[in-house]
Amino acid sequence: MEPSATPFEERLTAPKSWWAVSLLVGVAMALVLLPFGTLPLLGGLVGGTAVAAVAASSYGSIRLRVVGGSLIAGDAKIPVTALGEAHVLDPEEARAWRTYKADTRAFMLLRAYIPTAVRIEVTDPEDPTPYLYLSTREPERLLEAVRQARAAVA
């Protein structure tokens, strides 16, 4: 298998507002520890902020990649030959597919704070997954990379 002609990689990072919330969690911890003195207050500020920031960072560490004839979405690795028709979902359609149109058997790598997504049919008869729902800020680029990877493998 050859690598795709248009390599694609995207990290689904948490929004900037989550980092401000991390700081507010630290401030809240500092206020809880205020009666115990200055050192616990500083420990609560630093520790609370750090724990919240690690949680935000780990949630935003999911990556989408098209490499070596495969689509890698988080922990899932799907050969592009097992993928069928693909659709770019605008914000309204993306919301519909992650709520009332969703199939419980689908593989969904979704981040509600990312308004656009792609839906790619799974054509492998051995796989019960009907489609992949992938949140992405660059849906056209992702689909082009999948198309080119499929053409390179064929």
Global confidence as pTM: 0.81
SS3 track for the chain: CCCCCCCEEEECCCCHHHHHHHHHHHHHHHHHHHHHCHHHHHHHHHHHHHHHHHHHHHHCCCEEEEECCEEEECCEEEEHHHEEEEEEECHHHHHHHCCCCCCCCCEEECCCCCCCEEEEEECCCCCCCCEEEEECCCHHHHHHHHHHHHHHHC
Residue 13: what pLDDT? Answer: 87
Regions of the chain with pLDDT less than 70: 1-6
Q: At what angle do helices 38-59 and 16-33 cross, to 10 degrees?
A: 150
Residue 118: what pLDDT? Answer: 96
69 sits in the region (left: phi over 0; alpha: psi -120 to 50; else beta) called left
Residue 6: what pLDDT? Answer: 55
Which single residue is written with the structure tokens 């920031």? 53
Give residue-wise pLDDT tens across range 63-100: 999 998 899 998 899 999 999 999 999 999 999 998 99
b vs e for 31-46, b when ≥16 Cβ sit within 10 Å of the residue's Cβ?
Answer: eebeeeeeebbeebbe
